[in-house]
Amino acid sequence: MKAVVLGAGIAGLLAARVLADRCTEVVLVERDSLEAGWRRGVPQGRHLHGLLDRGRTVLEELFPGFTGEAAARGATTAEALVGTRWYLGGARLAATPTGLTSVMATRPLLEAVVRERVLAMPGVRSHTGTVRALVGDAGAVRGVRVTDGTADPAVGDVELTADLVVDATGRGSRAPQWLTDLGFPAPAEERLEVDLGYASALFPRTEGQLDNQSSVIISTGPDGRGGGAIRVEGDRWHVTLAGMLGDHPPTDPTGFTAFAATIAAPDIHALVDGIAPLGEITPHRFRSPLRRRYERLRTVPAGFLVLGDALCSFNPLYAQGMAVAAQQALVLRDCLTAGTTNPDLPARFYAAASAVVDVAWRLSAGSDLANPGVEGTRTVRTRLTNAYVARAHRAAHADPLVARTFLRVGNLVDPPAALLRPTLARRILLPRSANGANEPTG
Ligand SMILES: Cc1cc2nc3c(=O)[nH]c(=O)nc-3n(C[C@H](O)[C@H](O)[C@H](O)COP(=O)(O)OP(=O)(O)OC[C@H]3O[C@@H](n4cnc5c(N)ncnc54)[C@H](O)[C@@H]3O)c2cc1C
């Protein structure tokens, strides 16, 4: 079997990784040249990219030794609540072992570690060019048309044939249009308007800052402002400030520092105040999480599926995108194990992937809807969940078990229902009576 994967971002690389076990040939088509460093095709790569522990463990499974390799190339690793600081609602979560490991690096470093491992696999090769259209007929996709970035313009487009085409071109995926062009329906889309603004830069790090802890995350408060700083390769801080609903952080150093002073805890401001950034402060505007409901389509062509941000692009505040892309790669692997040539492969994939996406989508959309300024339908379930989560936040400041469980759920390691277990519910709903005597348990 031959597969063509469109886009060599995290999702495309991971799809290629699992396809390489089943295919004689996997071609990764990417419009950018795949060199180290920031890439034009991934503008979000200049902003803080936290890797949730669920994503890290999938990467370990697919690339044994991933964490150690990233660390050897300069990434920082730390116990998620001991080596790092988390603020929720302006107060710090109880510092306690969680069993989670944070890997802190720039997105280009994370991507390079993954890419080099994928491209070293037998049968995998990259092809530089921009995908323009799917090639196929009313029953199946049989390839793609690519404008070859390196070719003589006189040569024009090339066609790459494949038994399976996987679209991982990210949020801006043109797959809905490509499908329509072939006579198939496009998926319904769900969005939530958050109008989030990011501003990010690298700063020099000096010994002793943050008491030598490796990161600080200050979750957005009721005013929609927050930020994070992680220690990345080259002994630098990668600092991102964020503001929701149009209240975006400035990109001039003075404005950036002033914005940092307004967020709910002083730690990030202390890292940037009076210190010149190493290069420009870069903005990014993210208007809305976007979920494309491919699993609801009655007809999808054989030989084509969509994953990663092209399937669901999450609010970056919750750092879910790479981990959910990794989970989708495992879903694809399992679907391929059950049969590579079966024409219902895409439908099976979408059904299983939507279950994975659902968990993360509910967590993040629920949190977004806790902000009264975000427009959207708040069901009774959403309101009750958010009232409970608000109490969990408060309990997590003093109670290590609640803090630990909260972080494990947020890292997609434990299911959200873990916060509802009777021991937890008692500590969350009756924090005073539960505190003190109770020590964290496994
Ligand atoms: C501001 C911001 C911050 C984020 N922070 C985090 C975080 O902290 N943690 C986290 O896990 N996730 C984060 N994310 C999400 C994360 O970036 C994505 O979920 C993750 O990169 C997986 O995306 P992807 O591979 O599907 O798409 P992308 O990373 O966008 O990659 C798509 C690739 O396809 C290529 N491409 C596009 N169109 C074509 C075409 N026509 N032909 C050829 N190639 C094409 C692009 O050049 C690119 O290489 C953040 C996102 C944003 C916007």
* 394-436 per-position pLDDT tens digit: 999 999 999 999 999 999 999 999 999 999 999 999 976 544 4
Question: Would the CA dihedral through 89, 91, 93, 94 be positive or negative?
Answer: negative
Q: Do the domain assignments include residue 103?
A: no
The CATH number of the domain where 11 resides is what?
Answer: 3.50.50.60
Per the DSSP assignment, residues forming a β-bridge with 292 are 189
Same domain, 36 and 113: yes
**SS3 labels along 326-393:** HHHHHHHHHHHHCCCCCCCHHHHHHHHHHHHHHHHHHHHHHHHHCCCCCCCCCCHHHHHHHHHHHHHH
**All residues at 6 or more sequence positions from 297 whose CB lies less than 8 Å from its CB, including other chains:** 184, 185, 187, 350
Q: Which pLDDT value is given to residue 143?
A: 97
Closest C-alpha to ligand 1, atom 1 = 44
Q: Which pLDDT value is given to residue 148?
A: 80
| Segment 128-186, tens digit of pLDDT | 999 999 999 878 999 999 998 655 666 678 999 999 999 999 999 999 999 999 999 99
Q: Which pLDDT value is given to residue 154?
A: 62
Q: Do the domain assignments include residue 225?
A: yes
Of 237, 264, 286, the residue that ends a domain is 286
Q: Which pLDDT value is given to residue 433?
A: 52
CB 172 within 8 A of CB 160: no
Element (H, E) at 203: strand 196-204
CA-CA distances (angstroms) from residue 424 to 31, 291, 403, 417? 48, 31, 10, 10
Helix axes 53-62, 321-337, angle to 10 degrees: 40
Same domain, 114 and 149: yes
Per the DSSP assignment, residues forming a β-bridge with 77 are 103
Q: What is the C-alpha radius of gyration for the chain, rounded to an integer number of angstroms? A: 22
Per the DSSP assignment, residues forming a β-bridge with 395 are none
Please state, in angstroms and rounded to a whole number, the distance separating the CA atoms of residues 95 and 291.
34
Please state, in angstroms and rounded to a whole number, the distance separating the CA atoms of residues 367 and 386.
7
Same domain, 128 and 252: no
Q: What residue type is 138 in one-letter code?
A: A
Q: Which pLDDT value is given to residue 436?
A: 46
Same domain, 407 and 303: no
* Regions of the chain short of the pLDDT cut 50: 434-442
Q: How far is the CA of 103 from the centre of ligand 1 (A)?
A: 18
Same domain, 307 and 411: no
Ligand 1: lining residues by beta carbon, under 6 Å: 6-12, 29-32, 41-42, 44, 47-50, 130-131, 168-170, 198, 284, 286, 308-310, 316, 319-323, 325
Per the DSSP assignment, residues forming a β-bridge with 167 are 6, 306
Q: Which pLDDT value is given to residue 187?
A: 98
Q: Which pLDDT value is given to residue 440?
A: 41
The number of distinct structural domains making up the chain is: 3
Q: How far is the CA of 284 from the centre of ligand 1 (A)?
A: 13
| Segment 327-344, tens digit of pLDDT | 999 999 999 998 776 789
Q: Which atom of ligand 1 is nearest to the CA of 146?
A: 42
Same domain, 218 and 169: no
Element (H, E) at 400: helix 400-410
Same domain, 218 and 142: no
Please state, in angstroms and rounded to a whole number, the distance separating the CA atoms of residues 192 and 213.
34
Q: How far is the CA of 201 from the centre of ligand 1 (A)?
A: 19
Q: Which pLDDT value is given to residue 22?
A: 95
Query: Which of 223, 308, 300 minimizes the C-alpha distance to 9?
Result: 308
Same domain, 200 and 178: no
For a substitution probing ligand 1, which of 5, 35, 42, 127 has the most ligand atoms within 8 Å of its CB?
Answer: 42
The domain of 355 spans 2-49+109-190+289-363
Same domain, 23 and 147: yes
Please state, in angstroms and rounded to a whole number, the distance separating the CA atoms of residues 340 and 19.
10
Same domain, 281 and 312: no
For a substitution probing ligand 1, which of 44, 46, 134 has the most ligand atoms within 8 Å of its CB?
Answer: 44
Query: Which of 16, 367, 8 minimizes the C-alpha distance to 219?
Result: 367
Same domain, 132 and 176: yes
Say what the alpha-carbon torsion angle 48, 221, 366, 442 is, to the nearest 10 degrees: 80
